Amino acid sequence: MTKEHDEANNALVCSGNSSRCAQIRLVASDPEVYEPCDDSFALVDALLAERANLVEFKPNLCMEIGCGSGYVITSLAIMLASQGRTGVHYMATDLNEVAAQVTCKTLEAHGVHAEIVCTDIASGLDRRLVGMVDVMVVNPPYVPTPEEEVGCHGIAASWAGGEHGRRVIDRILLVVQHLLSIRGWFYLVTLTANNPLEICLMMREKGYESRIIVQRSTEEESLHVLKFWRSKDSPPQRESNTANASSDSSYFTLPRWAFWRGR
Ligand X SMILES: C[S@@+](CC[C@H](N)C(=O)[O-])C[C@H]1O[C@@H](n2cnc3c(N)ncnc32)[C@H](O)[C@@H]1O
How many residues form the binding site for ligand X (CB under 6 A)? Answer: 27
SS3 124: coil
Is the Cβ of residue 36 or residue 184 nearer to ligand X in the bound state?
36
SS3 226: strand
68 binds, among ligand X, another protein, none (CB under 5 to 8 A by kind): ligand X
SS3 133: strand
- Of 21, 46, 135, 157, which one interacts with ligand X (CB under 6 A)? 157
What string marks each residue from 100 to 129 as x (binds ligand X by CB under 6 A) or -? --------------------xx--------
How many Cα atoms within 13 Å fall on the side-chain side of residue 165?
21
| Nearest to 223, CA basis, from 238, 236, 235, 213 | 213
What is the rounded distance in angstroms from the CA atom of residue 250 to the CA atom of residue 65? 25
> Of 124-183, which residues contact another protein (CB under 8 A)?
124-129, 132
- Are 194 and 173 in contact, with CB atoms under 8 Å apart? no
Q: Which window, 108-116, 134-142, 201-209, 255-263, contacts ligand X (CB under 6 A)? A: 134-142
> Of 36-95, which residues contact ligand X (CB under 6 A)?
36, 39-40, 43, 65-69, 71-72, 93-95
Rule CB under 8 A: say whether 226 interacts with another protein.
no
